[in-house]
Structure 1
Amino acid sequence: MTTTRILYLILLAVCTVSCEYNVEEEDMEEISCDPGISFSTTVRPIIDNNCIQCHNGSVHPLDFRNFSTVKDNAEKIRELTEAGIMPKQGSLTSEEIALIGCWVDNGAADN
């Protein structure tokens, strides 16, 4: 094996171990799911601060100012925020993403 190939394999191994460590570290920071998460006091402010600029009925057809639209799309909202796809402008904290996920897991209630 050439020296370049050996160095490449070492670099690949270091990167792989580094990525695995980060995943484990993120898993440890998970928020326990509170069954009392409120839409009006917890989820609505996240949507208002991060989503309404596009999801207001004029830029994107889904108008998140209406609870029924948010409720009908709750699973998709969780999926896209967890994947980091939404919001397109800006970003959510890991806590905000977890809160949305918990709210959806708890039935996406209008509370």
Structure 2
Amino acid sequence: MAKNAAVKVINEKDRLAEELEIKKREKDWLKEEVEAKEAREHMLQEEIAQKVAADESKIERLQFQLVRRREEQEEKDEFILQLKQRVEVKDVRLEAVKERLDDVWMKAESREENLRHVRQELETKR
């Protein structure tokens, strides 16, 4: 019986040693899995950081372009305003010229009418 008990103890010891070896392999495998996942996570974090940096750079570039375009638009608006003011001044001058031309035209018509009367009087006197 003692022999049976000793065999049982040895068998149990072998079984436990085998289980321990299996558990150690599982532990090592899980450790490798964790390391691999941490490495992937680190890579993803680096990729994200690079993309964020690229996006921030792009945002800065776009903001600079937006500021430049606003400045250009303000310059164009100012130029257009100046042109409109020039056109208004020219319109006022043109209106004054038209009025003077109308006055000259009326005087010319009046003189022409007077000239006709004088001619008629001369013809009647002849």
Is the TM value for this pair above 0.5?
no
Higher relative contact order (CA 8 A, sep 6+): 1
Instruction: Decide which structure has the larger Cα Rg and report it.
Output: 2
Instruction: Return the structure number with greater helix share.
Output: 2
TM-score by length of 1: 0.30
TM-score by length of 2: 0.27
